[in-house]
Amino acid sequence: METHSLTNLINKVVNKLLESKSVVVFTGAGVSAESGVPTFRDKDGLWQKLKPEELANFNAFMRNPDMVTEWYSHRRKIMHQVQPNPGHFAIAELEKFFERFAVVTQNIDNLHQRAGSKNVFELHGNIERNYCIKCKKFYQLGDIYPDKAIYCECGGLIRPDVVWFGEMLPEDEYESAVKASRTCDVCFSVGTSAVVFPAAYIPIYAKQSGAFLVEINPNPTDISSLADVVLQGKSGEIFPLIVEEFKKRKGL
């Protein structure tokens, strides 16, 4: 995309933001790609190398808790080693200017919170939390990265508090996210292929309810055709440009 047209498109988005009260930023793995967290479906994505049904579901965990525990330890270690990128920081900065602002993320990596985002709904859980499947006691493992299954004092297996295939989304988080998407003026869909439901309903509900939908992604997705503006590029490059222009227009 030429710089000129990118500037025009960013102006269009900023014009909308300036007249808006409520914003939703729906994010996926792509928003953390520039931090060094692998995505799922890109060429080098996780699901090209590993099958979701072998790792990210409850039966797989029960069949082979050592392997699944070790895999999540590996991912958590990566997430601890990386830092939020300019995309995460720009999203966190934009929140300060709105009465109602929600980050609705499919990511489990905690990077939005580490960048300073306050109102974050985590649709697929958070890798930092773990709980016992028997007594539901919560555990934080910090910098302990077990390479084998771990057990609660009650004897139950401890699993990561993430949503696996076939499982329900956390009800409160999803309901709050749907409410935010149904009532927002502008919805961004950033760094997601938007193919995993029900999470991917968020930008669709926003659009159906009359929001201005903006997609930020280097590649076309299933919802590109729904978007009012498609900003083709990396979130760590595009989102800071939006916030910079927004602040300039507000005289900040």
Identify how many contiguous H helices and E strands the chain contains and give both numbers: 11, 9
Q: Which positions from 69 to 108 touch ligand OAD by CB under 6 A, shown as an x/- string? A: -------------------------------------x--
Q: Taking phi first (over 0 means left), then psi (-120 to 50 degrees means alpha), and beta for anything else, what does residue 18 get? A: alpha
Alpha helices in 82-151 (DSSP H): 86-95, 111-115
Nearer to ligand OAD, 18 or 92 (CB): 92
Our finding on whether 45 is near ligand OAD (CB under 6 A) is yes
Among 25, 163, 211, 227, binds ligand OAD (CB under 6 A): 163
Q: Which positions from 177 to 216 touch ligand OAD by CB under 6 A, shown as an x/- string? A: --------------xxx--x-------------------x
Q: Which stretch binds ligand OAD (CB under 6 A): 9-17, 24-32, 73-81, 147-155?
A: 24-32
* Encoded tokens for 206: 């926003």
Nearer to ligand OAD, 4 or 43 (CB): 43
For residue 36, the tally of other CB atoms under 10 A from its CB is 12
Question: Which parts of 116-155 interact with ligand OAD (CB under 6 A)?
Answer: 124
Do residues 23 and 188 lie in contact, with contact meaning Cβ atoms separated by under 8 Å? yes
CA angle 197, 199, 202 (to 5 degrees): 120
Q: Strand 125-132 vs strand 138-140: parallel, antiparallel, or unpaired?
A: antiparallel
Nearer to ligand OAD, 237 or 244 (CB): 237
Our finding on whether 35 is near ligand OAD (CB under 6 A) is no
* Residue closest to ligand OAD (Cβ): 30
Strands (DSSP E) along the chain, which ranges? 22-27, 100-105, 120-122, 125-132, 138-140, 158-162, 186-190, 212-217, 229-232
At its nearest, how many Å lie between ligand OAD and the CB of residue 86? 10
| Site residues for ligand OAD per CB under 6 A | 28-30, 33-34, 39-42, 45, 52, 56, 106, 124, 163, 191-193, 196, 216-219, 221, 234-236
The catalytic residues are 124
